[in-house]
Copies of this chain bind each other. A is one copy, B any other.
Amino acid sequence: MGIRVAIMGATGAVGQEFLRILEERDFPLAELRLLASARSAGKTMRFKGQDLPVEELTHNSFQGIQLVLASAGGKISRDFAPSAVKAGAVVVDNTSYFRMHANVPLVIPEINPGDIARHQGIIANPNCSTIIMCLALWPLHQRYQARRVVVATYQASSGAGAVAMHELEEETRAYLDGKPFVRTVIPHPYAFNLFPHNSPMTDSGYCEEEIKMVKETHKIFHSDAVRITTTCVRVPVLRAHSEALNIEFESEPDIEEAYAILGGAPGVQILEDREQNRWPMPVDASGKDPVLVGRLRKDQSQPRTLDLWVVGDQIRKGAALNAVQISERLFKV
C-alpha cells in the first residue's frame, strides 16, 4: 500500500529535511529513491536505520515513481519535472520555477487544499517567507478582511541552502579568530552582519523575493484584494525566518479574538509570555512544525490595524513539511 517516492536534490538542506519528515510522519513508502547531482552519487543517507544510496539524477530516474519531492533548484525542476510527469509521477516542486504557471496549483494545505486536485502533474510549494506570512495572515483575513500588509522579514541563512548555513558558521568562526575568509555562496559579509535580500533586483525597486511574497499570496488566496509591500532581509540566523507584519483590515479586529483565532488556526501556535517579555524566536521555531505567532497589538498609528510577529522554520513548514503535507493530501495518506 506504500507510495514509490523520489527526492530530487536529496543532499541539500531541504532534501535532508524531506527524509527526516517522511520518517517522523511515517509516510507510507513502497520505495524511496534519493536523487542528486553526479557529485553526490555514491553517498548514502540514513533513513529509518538504513543507509540509502544516493543516485545520479537523470531523465530515466523516474521509472515506477509515483511522487517526486523536488528541491534541487529551479533549472533542475524545469529540466527534469517534465520527465517525471511523463513517467507517471506527480512532482511536488519546492523551487520557484513553476509557481506562477497558470496550470500549476500553488498550495498551502491549511489555506487552499482544494487546489491540489486541479494539478496536471506538477504542484508547486510556495516560497518560505510566503508560507510563514500566509499561515498567520489567512485566518485573520477570513475574519476581518485584510486590505493591506506591510511586512519586513528577518530571513535565516538556511534560505540560501545548507552550504550557506555552513558558510555563515565558518565565516563567523574566522571573524572571531581574526582570520581571513573567502565566501563562496553568500555575496556579502555575513558574520554579525545583515543585508537586504540578494535575489535579483527588478525595475520596481523590489527584489524578486519580495515580489514572490506578493504574487504567491494572491495566487494562494485566489484574490489580489490584499495589497502587500515587502522588505526582505537576510540576517545572520542559522534557521527559521521571522517576520514583522502590519495588517490593515476592513473591519476592526479585537485583540483577544485575534489571539483566539490564531490559537485555533491549523499550523499556527501562539508562543509568548507577556510577564516574562518572551516572544517567538528562531531557536523556538527551529525543527518545529507550527509557525509561531506573538506580540499581537493594536497599531496605534491608525484604526483597524494589527501588528504581529511570526517565526517559522524555513526548511520545515517553509519548504519540506509543506511539500509532504501536500503529498499526504494528494495520496490521501
Contacts and interface: CB of A to CB of B under 8 A. Distances in A.
Interface of A: 148-150, 152, 154, 168-169, 172-173, 176, 187-189, 192-196, 198, 200-201, 204-207, 214, 227-229, 231, 233, 235-238, 242, 244, 246, 255, 274, 277-279, 281-283, 294-302, 305, 307, 309
Q: Sort A-B residue pairs by CB-CB distance and give the 8 closest, nearest first.
A: A205-B297, A152-B152, A227-B301, A231-B244, A152-B244, A229-B301, A192-B238, A150-B150
Contacts of A301: 148-150, 227-229
B237 A295 contact: no
Oligomer: number of copies: 2
A242 to B, nearest CB: 6
Contacts of A233: 154, 242, 244
Contacts of A277: 187, 198, 200-201, 207
Given A300-B229, A302-B227, A196 B237 contact: no
Nearest to A236: B236
A310 to B, nearest CB: 11
B279 A195 contact: yes
A160 to B, nearest CB: 14
A332 B283 CA distance: 50
Contact of A148 (B188, B198, B205, B302): B302
Contacts of A307: 205, 229, 231
A74 to B, nearest CB: 18
Given A295-B196, A295-B205, A297-B204, A281 B188 contact: yes
Contact of A192 (B168, B255, B279): B168
A321 B216 CA distance: 44
A3 to B, nearest CB: 36
A307 B150 CA distance: 10
A253 to B, nearest CB: 13
A214 B299 CA distance: 12
Given A152-B152, A235-B235, A236-B236, A206 B300 contact: yes
